[in-house]
Amino acid sequence: MTSADAGTPAGTGSGTGSPAGSGDGDGRVPSGPPDLPASVVLGPGEGGLDRLTVTAPTGRAEIYLQGAHVTRWHPTDAEDVLFLSARSRFADGTAIRGGVPICFPWFGPHPTDATAPSHGFARVLPWRLLGAREAGDDVVVELGLEDSPQTRAGAWPHPFRATYRVTVGATLRLELEVTGTGTGPVTFEEALHTYLAIGDIRTAVVGGLERTAYRDKVAGGEVVQGASEPVRVTGETDRVYLGTRETAVVEDPAGGRSVVVGKDGSATTVLWNPWAEKAAALADLGDDEWTRMVCVETANTGDDAVTLEPGGSHTMTATLAVRLAGPAA
């Protein structure tokens, strides 16, 4: 995974641009947005980019239309669950460091086009706000992205339609549905690149990945059989866990809570932390911020990439929940 490239602007000639019907590609909402319930407010966010503030009875979130990027979420009785770097760049065509970037239609660097943006174009293009509704104690926001002349001229020229449903409440539910709208099959990779805020990575433990083989990208892509114990991150970590559909649980004693990352329609889990040396080289990450974050990513990459027949659809879902630690005995 090339998470080090999260703040890199989309390169020219890389297939980036405004999706069909999504305005002029400057990260701002197209004309004629749908009517919104009082719980959803559209306004300027950091860098002047359009941002949705979603306030449900049981939780609150912020979503930027550029990249359909959820940057904040927390239940009403908890602190922020998503990590967002204080050095994040909020600018047109630039990925945000933190929250939940959407990686699509490839993961990491493009295999044949060095000018294409890392992790695909979806996280740096403006998405269309399709609508929002209240559903009991939750609020559901729906955003969309389609192919455009710019994307079709780039590194992944296929017709597609992506719909992203964000359900905000006591839990955060993220559903990425991709439909092939062309006349031939289409193959893509995808990831919900979730940055979790934690008290201290050096005391955190990640469960749910035991005995699961992973590709160790720090070690050059070597495939390693996972241990029988939960994972403790003790140095730079960039692991692609293969063929796993299990729920992951981040036990965070320093933060006094656990974060549960459930998933559906996903066969890959990515675990990432840059550690001190790599963090110091990232302009959009504070030198000590690596201690307060870990990425547990819901994905389909590599051998788990998705292939759709014409008109076919696939939905990948991530669900985040918080368990607060009880009082000490």
Is 297 catalytic? The answer is yes
Is 246 catalytic? The answer is no
For 142, 196, 197, 251, the CA distances from 323, given in Å and listed in that order, are: 27, 14, 14, 9
For residues 229 and 210, the answer to whether their CB atoms sit within 8 Å is yes
What are the residues facing 132 on neighbouring strands?
A: 141
Q: Where are the beta strands (DSSP E) in 268-312?
A: 268-273, 293-300, 306-308
Closest CA to 230 of 264, 256, 253: 253
What are the residues facing 241 on neighbouring strands?
A: 214, 269
What is the token pair recorded at 81? 């669950």
CA 218 centroid distance within chain: 21
DSSP character for 8? P
Separation CA 8–CA 112 (nearest Å) = 18
Which residue in the list 175, 189, 193, 289 is annotated as catalytic?
193
Angle at 228 between CA 223 and CA 232, to 5 degrees: 80
Residue 327, Cβ density class (10 Å: 0-12 exposed, 13-18 middle, ≥19 buried): exposed
For residues 149 and 133, the answer to whether their CB atoms sit within 8 Å is no
Which residue in the list 62, 175, 289, 297 is annotated as catalytic?
297
Active site residues: 193, 297
